[in-house]
Structure 1
Amino acid sequence: MIRKTLRSGLIVLVLMLSSLSVDAAPERFNGAIENARLQGVLQLEGDLFHVQGLELDERRIWVTSVDQAHRKGYIHEFDRRTGKLLRRLDLTDGARYHPGGISMSRGSIWVPVAELRPNSSAVLVEIDADSLQIRRKIRVSDHLGCVAASDTVLVAGNWNSALLYVIDLNNNARVRTVPNTSMTSYQDMKFSGGQLVAAGSQSLWSGTVDWIEWPSMKRTRSLRAGAVGSVRPIGRGGPYTGEGMAIKGRDLYVVPEDGPSRLFHFRLDA
């Protein structure tokens, strides 16, 4: 009787926990990216590992990736027309080998390179986009997983972007922090049209792309992201899911797969 009672109690407990987990889970979105249309897909030819960040201009595509097996981090440059690998730069900095989401401003690509653990350390690396030479480094006593760059300011997210670091480049790299009020763990972010645009995951299946007013840091728009077939543009569909996002006006680009990788181009509705 005691065993039967215990068994019944365990069943009730399991059912209660299952109900709570379902209620707490984010709503699954069955489309690719809300209010966006797929324009094309470009195969990226060359060795890529676990994809982290994406940036591009008219001629080139830059992707950061981490080779976890060998504790190495890289930025890779591709030809935007053909997708062929042009060159890559090793970003490994001692215990810091995890490059994150990247951003371009005034001819420089900014890359956070961090230890692969929370509450650790990172270095924000400024790289000349033409030569891939390192211009400067800014050290931060926390893991940083993504960065957005403007002419005078960097905004960087720590582990899962729970905190956003605001770094004033005109004031001796003065730093302040702002809590992230979104449920989304931002993985890549950019300044675009005077706002921050940040993308990341909310679950294994889905995530969001958010527009954040600058400098108030209030969200003004949020689009859900789901999957293109088995490919999840923003969600964390496993350890081999890429996380890169870039935006140019209404054109949104994602690299949702680790190597071999493809660049997906979406056009946002007005």
Structure 2
Amino acid sequence: MIRKAIRSGLTGLFLVVSSLAMASPEAFDGAIEHAHLLDALNLEGELFHVQGLELDSQRIWVTSVDPNNRKGYIHEFDRRTGKLLRRLELTDGPRYHPGGISISGRSIWVPVAELKPNSSAVLVEVDADSLQIRRKIHVADHLGCVAASGRTLVAGNWDSALLYIFDLSDNARARTIPNPSPTRYQDMKFVDGQLVAGGSLSLWSGAVDWIDWPSMKLKRTLRAGAIGPVRPWGRGGPYTGEGMAIEGRELYVIPEDGPSRLFHFRLDDRGETPPFPYGDRS
């Protein structure tokens, strides 16, 4: 009986893993399509399960969740050396899971949610210079990523099945639309008037999508492979499955839990006629 139960459990696990492996019919075995790796920077400081990434000319900000102690953080690193400068705990009662982040002006927006779907979250505005909290917006759903531009926020819920669009000039009034892509977004940014969003398709594959704003139509997708060993057995996963930031053609990702590395890729225009306008951060 015990052996039968073990065999049955192993069979079930194999089927689950197989289904995850087959989730992306066009699996990509490289790093990121139409991009080449320039360098990788070691981030020298304690990080847990990485969630979001942002950067400016001098600093790098990373969010991570410590599931064992049910705490969430935003960490600040020196962009040149990778050394940890400071961190801020973001835990808000049962909400301890920070997600993908976005900077607009001198504000960093961070969603902090309960670790379950159909739950609750707060959108936290953090001052990029002082790393102090400016305000919180409560939302009756799990939110896992956010893009910010001026008075507009776009946030994805669990697996980014729905995208919330917030108008900060109208008391943070929100509307929702379905995700136009199968990608489960982890991080998204506004870039030259478009949304650029990265996430996973399976344990072994991911994607970066360009979405037209405000029509929210999917314009382009770059496939991504994985860095191993992949979760849940290792600390890696799809290159685009966790933190992602972009500056023009420069794409930055953090696919590994702590100890983590910031990977720097340069995007090209192969396959685009006319050349694809990557643009600048808005």
CA offset digits 1:62-120 (Å, max 9, x no partner): 00000000000000000000000000000000000000000000100000000000000
**Unaligned segments of structure 1, at least 5 residues:** 1-13
CA offset digits 1:162-206 (Å, max 9, x no partner): 000000011111100010121110010000111000001001100
Aligned match of 1:243? 242
8 Å contact kept, 1:26–1:202: no
Q: How big is the shift at 1:24?
A: 5.7
Aligned match of 2:214? 215
- Count matched residues: 250
8 Å contact kept, 2:23–2:202: no
Amino acid of the residue matched to residue 197 of structure 1? V
Amino acid of the residue matched to residue 58 of structure 2? R
**Separation of aligned partners in 2, 1:223 and 1:46:** 31
Aligned Cα root-mean-square deviation (Å): 2.0
- CA 1:128–1:43 in structure 2 vs 1: closer, same or farther (change >3 Å)? same
Aligned match of 1:158? 157
8 Å contact kept, 1:143–1:158: yes
Amino acid of the residue matched to residue 155 of structure 1? V
User: What pairs up with 1:7-18 in 2 under 5 angstroms?
Assistant: none
**Unaligned segments of structure 2, at least 5 residues:** 1-11, 270-282
- CA 1:23–1:32 in structure 2 vs 1: closer, same or farther (change >3 Å)? closer
Q: Does 1:175 align with 2:170?
A: no
TM-score, length-scaled by structure 2: 0.84
Aligned match of 1:224? 223
- CA 1:23–1:37 in structure 2 vs 1: closer, same or farther (change >3 Å)? closer
Q: How big is the shift at 1:268?
A: 0.3
**Separation of aligned partners in 2, 1:23 and 1:253:** 27
8 Å contact kept, 2:180–2:216: no
- CA 1:239–1:216 in structure 2 vs 1: closer, same or farther (change >3 Å)? farther
Percent of aligned pairs sharing the same letter: 74
Deviates more, 1:236-245 or 1:216-225: 236-245
Amino acid of the residue matched to residue 74 of structure 1? Y
8 Å contact kept, 1:231–1:256: no
Q: Does 1:30 align with 2:29?
A: yes
Amino acid of the residue matched to residue 190 of structure 1? K
TM-score, length-scaled by structure 1: 0.88
8 Å contact kept, 1:204–1:238: no
Q: Partner of 1:258: helix, strand, or coil?
A: coil
Q: Which runs of 4+ in 1 moved over 2 A?
A: 20-27, 236-242
